[in-house]
Amino acid sequence: MPTTSLSPARVRLALLALALGGFAIGSTEFVAMGLLPNIAADLFPGLYGESPAHANASAGLLVSAYALGVVVGAPTIAALSARFPRKKLLLSLLVAFTVATVASALLPSFGGVLVARFIAGLPHGAYFGIAALVAASLMGPGNRGKGIAFVLGGLTIANVLGVPTITLLGQLAGWRVAYLAVAGLFALTFVAVLLAVPLQPGDPNATLRRELSIFRRGQVWFALAIGSIGFGGFFAVYTYVAPIIVTVAGLGAGIVPLALILVGVGMTIGNAVGGHLADVSLVRSMFGFFGLLAVSLAGVALTATTVPGLAIFLFLLGFSAAGLSPMIQTRLMDVAGEGQSLAAAINHASLNLGNSAGAFIGGLAVTSGLGYLGAPWIGLVLCALGVIIATVSIGLDRRASERAAGQIRLQQDAVLDRALS
């Protein structure tokens, strides 16, 4: 069915089905943050009894494993499948999500769960990339940022509803039950996409060589670095939000789901605002949100021992990070040329490289003697590096545009001179 023939109601249902996939992915990606102490106590019982901090840092590798799966899977699947019909590809990815998440819940050893989390991450970037292209097609011209934000909205809403609810379920019934619930969300999304999303062809002109050619563009690498390094600051804190709340702030474990809701509300609002601003003034908005992310990270480090300070800056942390996501993806698609399928997917690879790096470096800060408040300071360093990379990227882009404009003026002057002579 051509997209142009769809009724507004059908378009909304299709967008909701795609966003439900984002909701399920957000749940599977972030639920480990709220249940990290529970996972650590179950998979490392001896170590947890001796040093909860070291056990939590070890369990944090599950976050890194999922993120590395995204990094590997996003470019590989997107490049190889750009010509495939988009709906069928989405359904295949949802089957993979479901199976891998069930395996994460059932495998008994840390090593097995680690592998399952890596496999669960493989379809992540490809799903968001293809879903973003489908959403952009459904939304129509001039609304690309809004279409991207709509799909990502499912992920941010997961942090308001899905992650806190599943975290509470995991605290009451065990973290393995929590992952089975997430697998149920993926199965539900499969049915929703099957029924609501229209058939869309892939790109018939796509080839593996053309898709991979985007990596020859220097600005693509800059955009990837902005996401993977700058966004890592968020994950350096978010990975360890549960022990920060319990150990640093001295609050009960029951507060963790409430704190996750607060972060999720910030992410939901930030994503909507960021998607709008990406269509209005991409560069200025991106720098503004990076500045807010830096303030949020410093605020968490300085006020985590107080409930009001922690609440305010966790909200701002989610707001600023989620606002950056559609901006970074839009920037990457702007500089990618014809490789739009791959560009839409590898943005999530870069963000999850930031996830993996932030979780790992934050863990080093925790275990090196800096404690849990070392994580936000490490995050601030990563954020600052992201700003530096963005500054260099935009500066080079403007110089290239000025040179091109200058060459056009010279050519016009030469034509005019010949005409006058």
Is residue 128 within 8 A of residue 344, CB to CB? The reply is: yes
pLDDT of residue 296: 94
| pLDDT confidence band for 421 (50 / 70 / 90) | low
3-state secondary structure of 304: coil
Residue 1: inside a domain, yes or no? Answer: no
- Of the two residues 363 and 202, the one the predictor is more confident about is 363
H or E element at residue 289: helix 282-303
Lowest mean per-residue pLDDT among 76-85, 162-171, 187-196: 76-85
Query: What band does 130 get if pLDDT is binned at 50, 70 and 90?
Result: confident
pLDDT for 3 equals 47
Confidence at residue 385, expressed as pLDDT on a 0 to 100 scale? 92
For 338, phi and psi rounded to 5 degrees? -80, -20
Q: What is the pLDDT of residue 14?
A: 87
Mean pLDDT of 303-320: 91
The closest of 173, 113, 127, 170 to 26, measured between CA atoms, is 127
Q: Residue 288: is it exposed, middle or buried by C-beta count within 10 angstroms (0-12/13-18/19+)?
A: middle
Supply the pLDDT for residue 346: 76
pLDDT of residue 2: 41
C-alpha distances in Å from residue 266, one per residue of 310, 312, 316 = 13, 10, 6
Helix H or strand E segment including 389: helix 374-420
Residues 6+ apart with CB under 8 A from 46: none
Residue 295 lies inside a defined structural domain of this protein? yes
| Structure confidence at residue 205 (pLDDT) | 66
Is 351 a residue whose pLDDT tops 70?
A: yes
Residue 2 resides in a domain: no
Query: 294 near 350, Cβ under 8 Å?
Result: no
Q: What percent of the chain has pLDDT over 90?
A: 23
- Number of neighbours of residue 389 by Cβ within 10 angstroms: 20
Is residue 236 one of the residues assigned to a domain? yes
Residue 208, pLDDT > 70, answer no
Rounded CA gap, 193 and 3, in Å? Answer: 15
Distance between CA 158 and CA 334 in Å, rounded? Answer: 28
Residue 326's pLDDT is 81
CA atoms within 13 A on the CB side of 92: 12
Residue 180 lies in a domain: yes
**pLDDT tens digits, residue range 354-392?**
777 787 788 888 878 788 888 899 889 999 998 999 899
Number of H helices, E strands in the chain: 19, 0
Q: Quick check: 407 pLDDT over 80? A: no
pLDDT mean over 90-107: 94
Cβ contacts of 334-340, under 8 Å, gap ≥ 24: 334/282, 335/217, 335/219, 335/220, 335/222, 335/223, 335/397, 336/214, 336/217, 336/220, 337/213, 337/214, 337/217, 338/210, 338/213, 338/214, 339/210, 339/211, 339/212, 339/213, 339/214, 340/133, 340/203
* 264-299 tens-digit pLDDT: 889 889 988 888 888 788 888 899 999 999 999 999
Q: What is the CATH number of the domain that holds 415?
A: 1.20.1250.20
pLDDT digits (tens, 9 = 90+) for 332-345: 877 877 666 677 67
Q: What is the mean pLDDT of residues 143-164?
A: 75
The answer as to whether 18 is a domain residue is yes
Task: State how far the Cα of 4 lies from the Cα of 23, in Å rounded to an integer.
Answer: 26
Is pLDDT at 206 greater than 70 in this prediction?
no
Residue 1 has pLDDT above 50, yes or no: no
Name which residue leads in pLDDT, 315 or 82: 315
List the domain range (segments joined by +) for residue 152. 7-420
* More confident position, 375 or 180: 180
Confidence of residue 225 (pLDDT cuts 50, 70, 90): confident
In terms of pTM, does the model score above 0.85?
A: no
pLDDT digits (tens, 9 = 90+) for 7-40: 777 888 888 899 999 899 988 887 887 788 888 8
- The domain total for the chain is 1
As a whole number, mean pLDDT of residues 233-254 equals 85
